[in-house]
A and B are shown apart, each in its own frame.
Chain A
Amino acid sequence: MKQKQHGFWDDVKKYRSLLLMLTPAVLFFLLFAYIPMSGIILAFKQYDYNGGVFGSPWNGWANFKFFFDSGDAWRVTRNTALYNIAFIVVNNVLQIFAAILLFEVAGKWFRKLTQTVLFLPYFISWVVVGAIAYNLFNFDVGTINVLLKGLGMQPVDIYNTAAYWPFILVIVSAWKTLGYGTIMYLAAITSIDTEMYEAAEIDGANIFQRIMKITIPNLMPTVIILVLLAIGNIFRGDFGMFYNMVGNNGLLFSSTDVIDTFVFRSLTTSNEIGMSAAAGFYQSLLGFATIMLANYAVRRYDKDRALF
C-alpha cells in the first residue's frame, strides 16, 4: 500500500511543473464548462431568484412537458438538424472542391489572391453580415429588388416570406465558411507525400485519377474528423448567424427558429428559465447521443479514424 501511494505522489512531483502549467486551463474549463453542467438540475426545478440554482423547488418533468406541449420543440429540433445537415454537406463539398482546385491550379499569384479573397467573409462579424444581407434583401432599396424592378418584375418581400430563408441561410453559411474550410483542407492536401503523386504520374495516371485515387482518399481522415465534430454540433444552431440574419422576426420562425434562438428568447424575453434550461438540456443530450452514435459508426468502419 505504501508503495502505491509513493507511486502517485512521485508522479505528481515528477510532473509538478507540467501540472502547474495545466492549472489555468483546468480551472477555466471547471468554471465555464464543468460546474455549469451541474446547473442541468434547473431543468427539473421551478426557478426563483431567491432560491437560485440549488434552492429553488423541484418541478419534476413540468418544464419538459411545457416545452414539448408548446409545439415549438419539434419545429426547432427539425430546423436545427436540417440546417446543420445542409451546412455540413454543402460547405464541406464546396471547401474540398475549392481546396483541390487551389492546389492544382498553377499560377502562384492567382492562388494567393483567391485564397485571400475567399477568406474575406470569414473575417467579418455576423452583425456586419446581417447588415449586408439587409442591403441585398430589403424590400424598398435592396439590391435584389432594385434589379427585379429594373427588369420590370414585382419586388419580393423576402423578410416576410419564410420559404426563402432555408436557401438564403445555406448560401450565407457556405459563403462565410468557404475560405476557412478551404485552407483547412489545403493544409491537409499540402501534407500529402509528394512521392505518391510522382509514382502515380510514372504509372501513367492522369490528373483526375490522381485526385480521385490519391488526394481524396488522403483527405478522408481530415474530412471524418471535421464532419464528426460538426455532427456533435448538429443540434446546436449558430446563434450569431440566425439572430443577426433573422432576429426576432416571428413571421419567419417556421423556417428559421432553431433551438439556440428559442432558448435565448425564452431566457431573455419571456424569462422562462426552467423551460429554457430544459430545452438546453434536451439539446445537449441530443448532441451527445448523436456524436456517440457517429463515433461508434466510424469506429466500426475504421477504428483509427474515430474521435475516441
Chain B
Amino acid sequence: MSSTTANIHSPEMRKKPVNRDKMILSIVGYVTLTILAVFCVFPFLLVISSSLSDESTIIEKGFQIFPTAFSTEAYSLLFKYPEEMLKAYGITISVTAIGTLVGLFLTSMTAYVLSRRDFKWRSSFSFFFFFTTLFSGGLVPWYLMIVNYLHLKDTLLVLILPMLMNVFYIIVMKSFMSSIPDAITESAKIDGAGDFRIFMQLIVPLSKPALATIGLFIALAYWNDWYNALLFISKSDLMPLQYYLYKMLGNMDGMRKAMMASGAVVNTDLPTESLKMAMTIVATGPILLAYPFIQKYFVTGLTIGAVKG
C-alpha cells in the first residue's frame, strides 16, 4: 500500500487507517512485551539451569541458560541432610501463616471502619495512620523500642509483629471497600446486625478479590523477610528461610559445617555454585506456586483510586 490518500474516497478504505494503527500497536505491543517477558524470566532460567548443572562445568564455562552437563547432585545433597533447612522452612511457614491471617484480619477490619462514611472520626483516624508514612523516628529508635522496651529480640514474635500492618495495604483495602454500596450496610443495620457482624458476614465475603490480593502481598512480605531476622535474630533455631539462605550464600563454610552438624560426611569439594542455586530454588518455590491461583483477583483487587482520607 503505497498511498492511502489515493483511495480516501472509497468507503472500505476509509476504515483502513484505524486498522493500520491497530496493527502497528499490536506489533509494537507483542514485540515489546515479549522482550520484557524474556528479560523477566531469563534470570530464573539461569538459576534453574545452574542448579541442575555439574559443578565442574560451571567453573569451566560459567553459568549457562541450558545445562550442558546435567546433574542433580546439588539437590540430592540438599535433601540428604535437610534438618537445618527444614527448621528454617518451619519457621518461615509458621511466621507466614500466622502473620498473614492476623495481618489480613486486622488490615481489613481497620479498612472497613475507615470506609464507613457515617463514622464521625473517619478522617482523623485515617490521618493518624497515614502520618506514619510521612514521618518516622528512623531505624535506631524503632530498633531500640523492639529490643529494649518490648524485649522481642530472639523471639518468634519479632518476625511477626513489626510487619503486621502496613498503611498502604489499609488504603488499598479501604478504597476497595468504599466501592461496596452503603445500602448493604444500612439494610443490615435495620435488621439489627452489629458492626462487627456486618464486617464479618457481609463485607468480608464481598471483598474477596481485595483480600486475596492483599493477603498474597502480606504472605509474600513474610515469606521473603530476612531483614527482621538480620536485625533481631541470633539464635539459629529461629532463622527463617531467607535469612538462612542469606547466611549460606555468603558463607559456604557455614553450609559445610551445618551439613556436618547434621551428620553428613562432606568432602571438601562441595558443589558450591550449584548448591547455592538449588537452595535459591527451594527457598523461592512455594511462594511462586501460590501466585497463579491468586492472579485472577489482582486487577480487581488493586484499586487505589481514592487514597485520600
A residues whose Cβ falls under 8 Å from a Cβ of B: 11, 15, 17-18, 21-22, 24-26, 28-29, 31-40, 42, 52-53, 97-98, 101-102, 104-106, 110, 112-128, 130-132, 134-136, 140-143, 145-146, 175, 178-179, 183-184, 186-188, 190-191, 206-208, 221-222, 225-226, 229, 232, 239-240, 244, 247, 260, 263-264, 267-268, 273, 276-277, 279-281, 283-284, 287-288, 291, 307-308
Chain A residues near B292 (CB-CB < 8 A): 116
How far apart are B158's CB and chain A's nearest CB, in angstroms?
Answer: 11
B17 sits at the interface (CB 8 A): yes
Give the secondary structure class of B's interface: helix
Asked if residues A308 and B295 are in contact (CB atoms below 8 Å), the reply is: no
What are 22 residue pairs bridging A and B, where the CB atoms are less than 8 Å apart in the complex? A11-B120, A17-B196, A21-B196, A21-B199, A32-B162, A36-B141, A39-B141, A53-B148, A97-B32, A104-B29, A105-B30, A118-B37, A119-B295, A123-B288, A124-B284, A125-B223, A128-B284, A136-B63, A207-B21, A229-B168, A283-B138, A284-B137
Which 9 residue pairs spanning A and B have beta carbons closest together?
Answer: A39-B141, A280-B138, A146-B62, A125-B224, A105-B29, A36-B137, A33-B132, A25-B110, A277-B140
Query: Which residue on chain A has the smallest CB distance to residue B168?
Result: A229
How far apart are B140's CB and chain A's nearest CB, in angstroms?
Answer: 4
Asked if residues B39 and A308 are in contact (CB atoms below 8 Å), the reply is: no
CB < 8 Å neighbour of B133 from A136, A225, A232, A276: A232
Asked if residues B134 and A120 are in contact (CB atoms below 8 Å), the reply is: no
Asked if residues B140 and A118 are in contact (CB atoms below 8 Å), the reply is: no
Asked if residues A15 and B120 are in contact (CB atoms below 8 Å), the reply is: yes
CB < 8 Å neighbour of B63 from A26, A135, A190, A291: A135
Query: Which residue on chain A has the smallest CB distance to residue B148?
Result: A52
CA of A260 to CA of B17, assembled, Å:
53
Asked if residues B36 and A98 are in contact (CB atoms below 8 Å), the reply is: yes
Chain B residues near A222 (CB-CB < 8 A): 304-305
Chain B residues near A239 (CB-CB < 8 A): 227
Chain A residues near B40 (CB-CB < 8 A): 117-118, 120-121, 175, 178-179
Chain A residues near B109 (CB-CB < 8 A): 21, 24-25
CA of A22 to CA of B125, assembled, Å:
9
CB < 8 Å neighbour of A184 from B112, B127, B302: B302
Asked if residues A206 and B110 are in contact (CB atoms below 8 Å), the reply is: no
State which size class the interface on B falls in: 35 or more
User: How many A-B pairs with Cβ below 8 Å?
Assistant: 288
How far apart are A172's CB and chain B's nearest CB, in angstroms?
Answer: 10
Query: Which residue on chain A has the smallest CB distance to residue B163?
Result: A32
Chain A residues near B299 (CB-CB < 8 A): 183, 186-187, 190
How far apart are B65's CB and chain A's nearest CB, in angstroms?
Answer: 8
Q: Which of B27-74 contact A (CB under 8 A)?
A: 28-30, 32-34, 36-37, 39-41, 43-44, 46-47, 50, 58-59, 61-64
Asked if residues A128 and B280 are in contact (CB atoms below 8 Å), the reply is: yes
Asked if residues A104 and B140 are in contact (CB atoms below 8 Å), the reply is: no
CA of A63 to CA of B109, assembled, Å:
42
Q: Which of B278-309 contact A (CB under 8 A)?
A: 280, 283-284, 287-288, 291-292, 295, 298-305, 307-309
